[in-house]
Structure 1
Amino acid sequence: MPQAVGVIQTLGFPAVLAAADAMVKGARVTIVYFDKAERGEFLVAVRGPISEVTPSVEAGLKAATNTFGGEVVSHYIVPNPPENVLAVLPLEYTPEVEAFR
């Protein structure tokens, strides 16, 4: 089954928390990465089937935008990421998240 990666970057922690919550509740996806970016920005990345990542990211964008003070800085969906991208970027399913797949 083709996999995709969806990423949302927000300004402020409450917005990324709302986005991550909506993403995993809105579709069958797994959070594979979360970290702080620069200047108070945070990002969250999910993986799953292409048909699930798209509505997941849409739900996350809506939740982050509706969060008081929340601002979406950037977002992107990568359908079928190539192996060399997965080898370099921290987007693989780790043993910690494997149980939630």
Structure 2
Amino acid sequence: MLTNALGEIEVLGLAAAIEAADVAVKAANVRLIGYETTDGAGMVTVKVEGQVSSVSAAVAAAAAAAARVSTVFATSVIPRPDPQLGDVVLSPLTVGLGAPTSA
């Protein structure tokens, strides 16, 4: 179950996703949940969690860095996600999936 804020950065390509993930965890005190790819479109969504202010800073920095490498399609910061989102966010399709931390 997600109890912290959830941040997502959706980019084109794995290189941009790796760049986004690296910058996100270096920019703020967030934990990398993992990444998820779409079927055939080349889009990759990087997922992080942490306190709202940390996730906001990490997502902003990650999006700026990924934009220098490729295309950023969307970003999102969700404070205290509803428990029903857990199965969607923490799906088996998430590579590197780790159990979320508690607040």
Q: Normalised by the shorter chain, which TM-score bucket?
A: 0.7 to 0.9
Deviations 1:3-32 (A, max 9, x none): 200001111111111100000000010111
Contact 1:33 1:90 in 2 (8 A): no
TM-score where L is the length of structure 1? 0.81
Name stretches of at least 5 consecutive residues in structure 2 with no aligned partner.
Answer: 92-96
Q: What one-letter code is carried by the residue in structure 2 that aligns with 1:73?
A: F
Instruction: Quote the offset at 1:44 in angstroms.
Output: 0.7
State TM-score, norm by structure 2. Answer: 0.80
Unaligned runs of 5+ in 1: none
> 2-side partners of 1:25 and 1:81: how far apart?
23
Identical columns (%): 29
Aligned length, in residue pairs: 93
Deviating more after overlay: 78-87 vs 15-24: 78-87
Q: Whole-Å Cα distance in 1 between the matches of residues 42 and 87 of structure 2?
A: 27
Map of 2:10 onto structure 1:
9
Paired position in structure 1 for 2:72: 72
Quote the Cα distance in structure 1 between the aligned partners of 2:71 and 2:19. 11
